[in-house]
């Protein structure tokens, strides 16, 4: 069965989803950003993602981008749900807007799919009333919440192979959705209620956030106790029921750094969730305190940030811990320079490696890009040769041979002043 699918939101999730559906269906992609629409209709992509260009070339005949919603059999919402930072609650303005755009085109028998992450009850309390404003009730159209499970760099592979949760308003909607997603999803499709699907998505990212928080707590304790936490984690993980994650400079991206707060906005039973968020949000402060110790006594310190993407080998810098670290450093009068071979647009200038390291007093590796492993430290014109690797990806023996003093987050080095 071939249907017409209208996908609202052509970002990191919406566009790959639209192109995957376009392998078997007629897909119209909608985005209010005219620049994105123009880029796509000119045969180019607005961001990099492994395998996406090849898929785009393959399905161009079944896909087009527009700025206005059209009538369709299926409407899929894949717009951002940012965090309202001051209040720590979900900002549903884009979901509301997308639902408004769909409402006037919605007919009995159509399906609406929400992939955007929302707080529990948002479909029932926010989306349904908007979709029903022209007389249709939720029983007259199919509705599904099918949250994505994918990460930048592996988006297409995970969208195809990962299991999915299909939260539907009735069994018929679930069956229709499973048939639609079955056109490209090779993983299992599990049925549940809409509200349970909303909750499961938040559970998944909160679990990962809590797991990262304990690893980060261990890293700070390692510095305090003089223990190399990387060795300790490796040894602890030899226990058959232990799997401690890697520590780092903080948590970024549009999911793990944000979704746990969606649980706290209406619940009074989220002590561990809030604590994990606090630990991970505070990691840039801790990294900055270590940098302060490293450059202590240097007049007008210059530091170099290696990587502002929130994870390695992607251009996505949403909620990156690098941004907070940069602002903390600037607030103390440091000059901050940035090098990131993947990121092209950022609130601060991104320069070449040579420019970013010239006369610098400390290199701080924030993002684990593979390209950073190839840097020749002997070629860098530093004023003071200091390296702080918050991801433990560099060969510090090579850097030490080039005259650098090296520290790794959680390696147990002495003289670390806590923040």
- Residues tagged active-site: 201, 255
Neighbouring-strand partners of residue 418: none
Cα angle, residue 371 at apex, residues 366 and 375 outer, rounded to 5°: 90
Cα(258)–Cα(85) distance, rounded to whole angstroms?
Answer: 9
- Identify which of 146, 150, 131, 148 has the alpha carbon closest to the alpha carbon of residue 180: 146
Cα(298)–Cα(300) distance, rounded to whole angstroms?
Answer: 6
343's CB contacts (< 8 A; 6+ apart) are 308, 309, 315, 317, 350
Yes or no: say if 376 and 358 are a contact pair by the CB < 8 Å rule. no
Cα(248)–Cα(391) distance, rounded to whole angstroms?
Answer: 6
**DSSP percent split of the chain into helix, strand, coil, nearest 5:** 40, 15, 45
Which helix (H) or strand (E) is 190 found in, with range? strand 189-193
In the chain, the largest separation of any two C-alpha atoms, in whole Å, equals 73
Which helix (H) or strand (E) is 418 found in, with range? none
Cα angle, residue 416 at apex, residues 248 and 348 outer, rounded to 5°: 50
For the CA atoms of 8, 14, 16, 19, the dihedral, rounded to the nearest 10 degrees, stands at -10
Q: What is the CA radius of gyration of the chain?
A: 23
- Identify which of 318, 313, 247, 275 has the alpha carbon closest to the alpha carbon of residue 81: 318
Q: Which residue has the tokens 């990099």?
A: 48
Output the CA torsion sign for 152, 155, 161, 165.
positive
Buried (b) or exposed (e) across 62-95, using 16+ Cβ within 10 A? bbebeeebeebbbbbbbbbbebeeeeeebebebb
Joined tokens for residue 213: 């928080």
């Amino acid at each position: 069965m071939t249907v017409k699918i209208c996908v609202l939101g052509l970002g990191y999730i919406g566009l790959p989803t639209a192109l995957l559906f376009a392998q078997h269906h007629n897909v119209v992609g909608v985005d209010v950003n005219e620049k994105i629409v123009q880029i796509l209709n000119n045969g180019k992509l607005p961001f990099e993602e492994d395998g996406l260009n090849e898929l785009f070339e393959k399905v161009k005949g079944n896909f087009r981008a527009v700025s206005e919603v059209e009538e369709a059999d299926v409407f899929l919402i894949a717009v951002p749900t940012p965090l309202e930072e001051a209040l720590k609650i979900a900002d549903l303005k884009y979901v509301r807007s997308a639902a408004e755009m769909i409402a006037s085109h919605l007919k009995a028998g159509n399906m609406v799919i929400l992939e955007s992450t929302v707080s529990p009850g948002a479909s029932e309390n926010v989306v349904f009333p908007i979709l029903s404003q022209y007389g249709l009730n939720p029983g007259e159209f199919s509705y599904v919440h099918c949250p994505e499970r994918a990460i930048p760099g592996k988006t297409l592979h995970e969208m195809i192979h990962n299991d999915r949760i299909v939260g539907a308003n009735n069994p018929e909607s679930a069956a229709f959705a499973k048939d639609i997603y079955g056109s490209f999803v090779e993983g299992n499709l599990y049925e549940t209620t809409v509200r349970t699907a909303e909750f499961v998505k938040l559970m998944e990212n909160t679990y990962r956030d809590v797991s990262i928080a304990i690893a980060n707590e261990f890293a700070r304790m390692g510095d305090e106790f003089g223990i190399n936490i990387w060795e300790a984690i490796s040894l602890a993980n030899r226990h058959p029921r232990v799997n401690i994650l890697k520590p780092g400079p903080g948590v970024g991206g549009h999911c793990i750094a944000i979704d746990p707060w969606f649980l706290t906005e209406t619940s009074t039973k989220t002590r561990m969730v809030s604590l994990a968020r606090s630990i991970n949000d505070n990691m840039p402060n801790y990294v900055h305190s270590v940098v302060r110790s490293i450059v202590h006594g240097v007049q007008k310190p210059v530091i170099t940030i290696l990587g502002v993407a929130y994870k390695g080998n992607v251009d996505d810098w949403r909620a990156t811990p690098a941004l907070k670290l940069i602002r903390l450093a600037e607030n103390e009068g440091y000059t901050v320079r940035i090098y990131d071979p993947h990121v092209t647009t950022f609130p601060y200038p991104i320069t070449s490696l040579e420019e970013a390291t010239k006369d610098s007093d400390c290199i701080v590796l924030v993002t684990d890009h593979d390209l950073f492993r190839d840097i020749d430290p002997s070629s860098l014109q530093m004023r003071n040769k200091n390296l702080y690797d918050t991801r433990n990806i560099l060969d510090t023996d090579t850097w030490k041979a080039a005259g650098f003093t090296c520290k790794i987050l959680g390696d147990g080095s002495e003289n670390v002043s806590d923040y």
